[in-house]
Amino acid sequence: MTVRERSADFWERQRQAPLYEQLVRHAMRRPHPFHVPGHKMGRSFDHHGRERFGPVLELDMTEITGMDDLHQPDGVIAEAQALAAEAFGAEETRFLVGGSTAGNIALIMTVCRPGDKILVQRNCHKSVFHGIILARATPVYIVPAVDPATGTAVGLRREDVERALQAHPDAKAVFLTNPTYYGMGIDLAKLAATVHRFGVPLLVDEAHGAHFGFHPAFPRSAMQSGADAAVQSTHKMTGALTMSSMLHIQGERIDRERLARNLAMIQSSSPSYLLMASLDLARRHLVMEASREWERLLLQLDKLRERLDRVSWVELARPVPNSVCATWDPLKLLLVLRTADADGFELMRLMEEQGIYPELAENGLVLLAASAGTSADDLDALARLLESVSPERRSGKVRMVEPGVVASSFLREQAMPMHAAIDAPRETVALEQALGRIAAEMVIPYPPGIPLLVPGERIDADLLELLLELRKGQTRFHGVQDARLQTIRVIDERQQE
Ligand SMILES: Cc1ncc(COP(=O)(O)O)c(C=O)c1O
């Protein structure tokens, strides 16, 4: 059911924001706060910061009477989560105050016991690998297909997942990312049906898709497609405060008691009421107001496309479904450079000089994320900048991407389990000397935060070449001891013996 076809009761309920309203009611009583936090609703706070933080500090509460408890909800938090579940089409929704990171980790620890196999899309976010390490699970990687139009890794092919499920009937779950950071998605409903034929749950990292299902221009959400669990960064593409995310669940395949226990271990015992209230409000805004804002934005994005069609050296990637990419988020603006004499980093620098801040740059790409909060003025500034770059300077070779290649850069020999490798004896070697060695650390170009190498994997020639190439550019690396990647930590195999 789309949001527009809901009953009158639905609208009446969704008009409420019980957690936020409770916080406001409490602040208006002008209480005497003999409880933490010590700023006492903003009364003791750096005086320079008070002007900007002030109204918000009044709502920065803790688990006093009437405020409920995220870890045992039976009051306003339970009501807010129930409204979110209704809005997002879940049976149960849990608010997350540690981002999707917390949700991904908790989910993996819920479905896997030590040694259990889990089928995992190889280009998942680092939090998924961290979850596997903490669960001491055994990942079986499935390599994503590459979108021929943009050259970026998209999602899993159904046949690859089916083959993996046949080869590993003991796998406890399939974990994938949909959509990608770049906004591309697969036919999730078909995949969910395939996965369920094997009796295992489908867990989806939907960090970039909190708006999915809320407007006909967006793809259907993971919940609508039949996934058993979906983790959404409500703070990314919709309006919650940074770190505020949601975990949606449906069906019987996930042990909800175990999940609640894991969330309680992973998340703070003092979850931020500001973050949780922002989730309550983001849900209400999505249901009640965002569509109008998206209607305006989508028209403006059409105009942006028309303007950029006349700029020959850069292309705003178009949502044309193909064999690997079934859906596309129109709010992700992926600028593909069709020239060899400029790279994405240079374009991003030009943009930033003009006050335009993209999500990320790569050699041939710049990714911008629009949202209901993106204004006509923002889009005009972007178009003006791209139009102003001289075509003569950009008249190099057209950059082409090989169609249909598989993202082989993601798959290498797992010589030892990840959780064993992170604690094994290690040594530091020059990157150039690392061929054939087993990694003791993750190498994560950031953003987007997708590990190219995880602990326990053997460094092969393809990967070494790729890392040496990336090192020349402006890529930042997470997970590594040496952020410039001159050196890398590898397993000291002599001490292993
Ligand atoms: C695909 C994906 N999953 C999970 C995360 C983690 O989300 P959060 O920042 O909400 O913890 C990110 C963050 O960039 C992401 O891109």
401 assigned to some structural domain: no
Q: pLDDT tens, 411-448?
A: 788 899 999 999 999 999 999 999 999 999 999 887 67
Give the 3-state secondary structure of residue 175. Answer: strand
Here the tokens at position 140 are 């079986």
Mean of the pLDDT values across residues 328-352? 90
**Is residue 156 very low, low, confident or very high in pLDDT (cuts 50, 70, 90)?**
very high
CB of 494 closer than 8 Å to CB of 441 = no
pLDDT of 393 > 80? The answer is no
Task: State whether 202 and 313 are in the same domain.
Answer: no
Task: State whether 163 and 142 are in the same domain.
Answer: yes
According to the model, what pLDDT value does residue 252 have? 98
pLDDT of 404 > 70? The answer is no
The answer, yes or no, to whether any atom of ligand 1 lies below 6 A from the CB of 121, is: no
- Lowest mean pLDDT segment, chosen from 2-6, 124-128, 137-141, 403-407: 403-407
Residue 8 half-sphere exposure toward CB, CA atoms < 13 A: 0
Task: State whether 97 and 204 are in the same domain.
Answer: yes
Task: State whether 85 and 218 are in the same domain.
Answer: yes
Distances (CA, A) of 141 to 33, 192, 252, 385: 51, 18, 25, 41
Ligand 1, from 105, 107, 123, 127: best to mutate by most atoms within 8 Å of Cβ? 127
- Lowest mean pLDDT segment, chosen from 154-163, 246-255, 313-322, 460-469: 313-322
Task: State whether 380 and 334 are in the same domain.
Answer: yes
According to the model, what pLDDT value does residue 445 have? 83
487-491/476-478 β-pairing: unpaired
Q: Looking at the CA of residue 104, tell me the nearest atom of ligand 1.
A: 4
CB of 279 closer than 8 Å to CB of 240 = yes
Mean of the pLDDT values across residues 334-345? 84
Distance 233 CA to ligand 1 centre (A): 7
Ligand 1, from 175, 236, 359: best to mutate by most atoms within 8 Å of Cβ? 236
Angle between the N-to-C axes of helices 273-288 and 290-309, in degrees from 0 to 180, rounded to the nearest 10: 80
Give how many domains the chain has, as a whole number. 3
Task: Identify which has the larger pLDDT, 473 or 256.
Answer: 256
According to the model, what pLDDT value does residue 396 have? 45
The answer, yes or no, to whether any atom of ligand 1 lies below 6 A from the CB of 177, is: yes
Task: State whether 380 and 419 are in the same domain.
Answer: no
Q: pLDDT tens, 162-172?
A: 999 999 999 99
161 assigned to some structural domain: yes
**Is residue 397 very low, low, confident or very high in pLDDT (cuts 50, 70, 90)?**
very low
According to the model, what pLDDT value does residue 407 have? 47
User: Residue 419 gets which letter from DSSP?
Assistant: H
The answer, yes or no, to whether any atom of ligand 1 lies below 6 A from the CB of 182, is: no
Ligand 1, from 186, 233, 275, 329: best to mutate by most atoms within 8 Å of Cβ? 233
403 assigned to some structural domain: no
The answer, yes or no, to whether any atom of ligand 1 lies below 6 A from the CB of 187, is: no
Cβ neighbours of residue 204 closer than 8 Å, sequence gap 6 or more: 175, 176, 177, 178, 188, 222, 227, 229, 230, 231
Task: State whether 372 and 440 are in the same domain.
Answer: no
According to the model, what pLDDT value does residue 80 have? 99
Q: Looking at the CA of residue 180, tell me the nearest atom of ligand 1.
A: 1
According to the model, what pLDDT value does residue 91 have? 98
Task: Identify which has the larger pLDDT, 467 or 268.
Answer: 268
The answer, yes or no, to whether any atom of ligand 1 lies below 6 A from the CB of 245, is: yes
DSSP for 60-79? ---S-TTS--TTS--SHHHH
- Supply the CATH number for residue 456's domain: 3.90.100.10
**Is residue 494 very low, low, confident or very high in pLDDT (cuts 50, 70, 90)?**
confident
- Supply the CATH number for residue 229's domain: 3.40.640.10
The answer, yes or no, to whether any atom of ligand 1 lies below 6 A from the CB of 127, is: yes
**Is residue 34 very low, low, confident or very high in pLDDT (cuts 50, 70, 90)?**
very high
195 assigned to some structural domain: yes
- Supply the CATH number for residue 386's domain: 3.90.1150.150
The answer, yes or no, to whether any atom of ligand 1 lies below 6 A from the CB of 161, is: no
Task: State whether 36 and 115 are in the same domain.
Answer: yes
407 assigned to some structural domain: no
The answer, yes or no, to whether any atom of ligand 1 lies below 6 A from the CB of 267, is: no
Task: State whether 112 and 255 are in the same domain.
Answer: yes
Atom 7 of ligand 1, residue of closest alpha carbon = 100
150 assigned to some structural domain: yes
Q: pLDDT tens, 166-214?
A: 999 999 999 999 999 999 999 999 999 999 999 999 999 999 999 999 9
Distance 429 CA to ligand 1 centre (A): 30
Q: Which domain range does residue 132 map to?
A: 3-288
According to the model, what pLDDT value does residue 394 have? 45
Task: State whether 212 and 315 are in the same domain.
Answer: no
Task: State whether 37 and 168 are in the same domain.
Answer: yes
pLDDT of 101 > 90? The answer is yes
Other CB atoms within 10 Å distance of the CB of residue 322: 14
The answer, yes or no, to whether any atom of ligand 1 lies below 6 A from the CB of 100, is: yes
The answer, yes or no, to whether any atom of ligand 1 lies below 6 A from the CB of 125, is: yes
Cβ neighbours of residue 332 closer than 8 Å, sequence gap 6 or more: 179, 182, 183, 208, 367, 368, 369, 370
pLDDT of 390 > 80? The answer is no
Phi-psi region of 32 (alpha: psi -120 to 50; beta: other; left: phi over 0): beta
Contacts by 3-8 with C-beta closer than 8 Å and gap 24+? 3/87, 3/213, 3/214, 3/215, 3/287, 3/291, 4/291
Q: Looking at the CA of residue 124, tell me the nearest atom of ligand 1.
A: 1
What average pLDDT does the structure give for the chain? 92
- Lowest mean pLDDT segment, chosen from 65-69, 99-103, 331-335, 490-494: 490-494
**Is residue 1 very low, low, confident or very high in pLDDT (cuts 50, 70, 90)?**
low
Final residue before a domain boundary, out of 271, 288, 305: 288
Final residue before a domain boundary, out of 288, 311, 345: 288
According to the model, what pLDDT value does residue 412 have? 84
Q: Looking at the CA of residue 245, tell me the nearest atom of ligand 1.
A: 10
Final residue before a domain boundary, out of 264, 288, 312: 288
The answer, yes or no, to whether any atom of ligand 1 lies below 6 A from the CB of 449, is: yes
Q: Looking at the CA of residue 101, tell me the nearest atom of ligand 1.
A: 11
400 assigned to some structural domain: no
Token look-up 């050296």 returns 313
**Is residue 497 very low, low, confident or very high in pLDDT (cuts 50, 70, 90)?**
low
Distance 102 CA to ligand 1 centre (A): 10
16 assigned to some structural domain: yes
Ligand 1, from 94, 97, 101, 204: best to mutate by most atoms within 8 Å of Cβ? 101
Task: State whether 65 and 78 are in the same domain.
Answer: yes
Here the tokens at position 111 are 């479905």
Distances (CA, A) of 309 to 153, 201, 304, 306: 25, 43, 9, 5
The answer, yes or no, to whether any atom of ligand 1 lies below 6 A from the CB of 178, is: no
According to the model, what pLDDT value does residue 178 have? 97
**Is residue 389 very low, low, confident or very high in pLDDT (cuts 50, 70, 90)?**
confident
**Is residue 3 very low, low, confident or very high in pLDDT (cuts 50, 70, 90)?**
low
CB of 344 closer than 8 Å to CB of 454 = no
The answer, yes or no, to whether any atom of ligand 1 lies below 6 A from the CB of 368, is: no
**Is residue 493 very low, low, confident or very high in pLDDT (cuts 50, 70, 90)?**
confident
Percent over 90 (pLDDT), the chain:
79
